[in-house]
Structure 1
Amino acid sequence: MKYQRIAATLAALALPGVAHAHVGLHADGALAGLGHPFSGLDHILAMVAVGFWASTLGGKARWIIPSAFVALMAVGGAMGIYGLPLPMVESGIALTVAVLGLLVAFEVKVPTPVAAAVVGVCALFHGHAHGTELPAMAHAGGYVAGFLAATIALHAIGIGLASLRFGKAGQAAMRIAGWAVALAGAALLAG
């Protein structure tokens, strides 16, 4: 039942841009937004790691942490769309990938508000990058709704992957995956 609600929500978020009357002029906003997070490994790794880490923290954190990421990603996206500067965005994104990978690798346990603040800072960088890359002639609202829906889907993938952990082998696989994400972030930082 929960998965049906998630699927329905993602579909509903994609509809505003698709339903726009000026096909070809603004309709590509939601679709461009949906595709954008999947266009870079940095975004995929970070967003899946957020869902994974939130799931390992358990309880309400499983939903609060991804929600904090999505909310602050929207803020970062608006900043990017309106040209408000955020220093060192690309380096910040690479650093977030490394940090999130380490949080997963070490199964770092912190209170939910602290975790929400950490992912919120990460989200500002990712959102800003998405916002500054708003395609010409795309409807901004549809584009933002699209990249937020894609982000939610990637968080759900992370939560789902975390639920697959079984015993010591699953825990070892999780740590290896966390280290792989952290190393990818370090490689992105190195340029």
Structure 2
Amino acid sequence: MKKLLIATGLAGLATPALAHHPLGGMEMTTFAHGLLSGVGHPVLGFDHLFFVVAMGIAAAFTGRALTAPLAYLAAMVAGVLLTTTGLTLPLAEAVIAVSLLALGGLVLSGRAVSAPVAMTLFAGFGLFHGSAFGAAMASAEASAAAIVLPGYLLGLAAVQYVIAVAAGLLARRAGDSAAAIQPRLAGAVVAGVGLFLTLETLEGAAFAALGWG
């Protein structure tokens, strides 16, 4: 768990620019471009990474460490597809910030929720994470989208599933219950990041309303 906490802390050093441009802003034209972007986006995007880590920990204590994250992945893919067809979800970045605060807070509380409740939370927030991921497809040529998108979705799903399952396994090795201190510390880190991002979002909205942005 110490390794997990260190890894999630270091992930916070990733800049927003890197989070949205895993290929350095290069235009995506091939399956390989899509695959690399899909793998890089959740890893370099620390908001997504922190959420997936918390999700994996929460899933581990539902008794469905391997299957509960699939609810998130299915909704995430749906969110990507919605965005690529022009149906961008509103306030996606704000909801993503709240998702870290909510799921991190759940893990911090030390309470294990039932699998149906956890999977509902994962899927609900997954739609918005997917919507944000879908925006990255804007760098793909329209004529190449049919080639790039499958690679992108494969990369997104594979890397996030591996991260979630690994985080869950580490959490279970560190503590035999959701109330163990190590998983709760990881939840505190995620909740703290979520609180910071939520406050930052509210500050930006307030400045925009006052005409200061």
Q: After TM superposition, give the deviation of residue 113 of structure 1 in Å.
A: 1.4
| 1:149–1:167 distance in 2 versus 1, CA, 3 Å | closer
Residues 53 and 107 in structure 1, CA contact (< 8 A), matched pair in contact too: no
Q: After TM superposition, give the deviation of residue 167 of structure 1 in Å.
A: 6.7
Partner of 1:145: 154
- In structure 1, stretches of 5+ residues that fail to align are 1-23
The answer to whether the aligner puts 1:41 opposite 2:46 as a matched pair is yes
| 1:163–1:109 distance in 2 versus 1, CA, 3 Å | closer
Residues 54 and 62 in structure 1, CA contact (< 8 A), matched pair in contact too: yes
Residues 31 and 146 in structure 1, CA contact (< 8 A), matched pair in contact too: yes
* 1:147-166 paired onto structure 2 within 5 Å: 147-166=156-175
Matched residue SS, 2:65: helix
Give the partner amino acid of 2:78: V
Q: State how far apart, in whole Å, the 2-side matches of 1:39 and 1:167 are.
A: 30
Partner of 1:116: 119
Give the partner amino acid of 1:146: G
The answer to whether the aligner puts 1:25 opposite 2:39 as a matched pair is no
Give the partner amino acid of 1:25: T
Q: State how far apart, in whole Å, the 2-side matches of 1:66 and 1:166 are.
A: 20
Matched residue SS, 2:88: coil
Partner of 2:92: 89
Q: State how far apart, in whole Å, the 2-side matches of 1:83 and 1:167 are.
A: 45
* 1:161-176 paired onto structure 2 within 5 Å: 161-166=170-175, 171-176=180-185
The answer to whether the aligner puts 1:103 opposite 2:111 as a matched pair is no
Residues 57 and 183 in structure 2, CA contact (< 8 A), matched pair in contact too: no
The answer to whether the aligner puts 1:181 opposite 2:181 as a matched pair is no
* Range 129-138 or range 112-121, more displaced: 129-138
Residues 58 and 112 in structure 2, CA contact (< 8 A), matched pair in contact too: no
Q: TM (normalized to structure 2)?
A: 0.72
Q: State how far apart, in whole Å, the 1-side matches of 2:106 and 2:159 are.
A: 22
Which whole-Å deviations, capped at 9, do the CAs of 1:99-136 have from their partners, x for residues lacking one?
Answer: 11011111333321121111101111111100111132
Matched residue SS, 1:70: helix
After the TM superposition, list the runs of 4 or more consecutive aligned residues in structure 1 that deviate by more than 4 angstroms: none
2:140 to 136, 154, 167: 136
How many residues get paired? Answer: 165
Partner of 2:70: 67
Q: After TM superposition, give the deviation of residue 46 of structure 1 in Å.
A: 0.3
Q: State how far apart, in whole Å, the 2-side matches of 1:56 and 1:167 are.
A: 9
Partner of 1:126: 129
Matched residue SS, 2:180: helix
Residues 56 and 107 in structure 1, CA contact (< 8 A), matched pair in contact too: no
Q: State how far apart, in whole Å, the 1-side matches of 2:152 and 2:128 are.
A: 17
What do you get for the CA RMSD once the two structures are aligned?
Answer: 1.9
Q: After TM superposition, give the deviation of residue 182 of structure 1 in Å.
A: 0.5
